[in-house]
Amino acid sequence: MSEQLWDVGQVAAYLRVTVATVYGWRTKKYGPKGRRVGKHVRWDPDEVRAWYLAQPAEVA
């Protein structure tokens, strides 16, 4: 891990979704895997980027 862990706001900003969307994905076991750190959830930035790049490209 090269950076500090991200909080939900940073993950949402990177993925350009709302904080509620990130939490909703988490309850559905979708999206980048977060980890509990005390009472908070944190994400490894490298894992968030890898998850994003692994998603199929949307055809417009």
Residue with tokens 């968030």, as numbered in its chain: 48
Render pLDDT for 24-60 as a digit per residue (tens, 0 to 9): 999 999 999 999 999 999 999 999 999 999 999 876 6
Average pLDDT over residues 2-10: 91
Structure tokens at 24: 């909703």
- Please give the single-letter amino acid code of residue 53: L
pTM of the model: 0.87
Render pLDDT for 7-31 as a digit per residue (tens, 0 to 9): 999 999 999 999 999 999 999 999 9
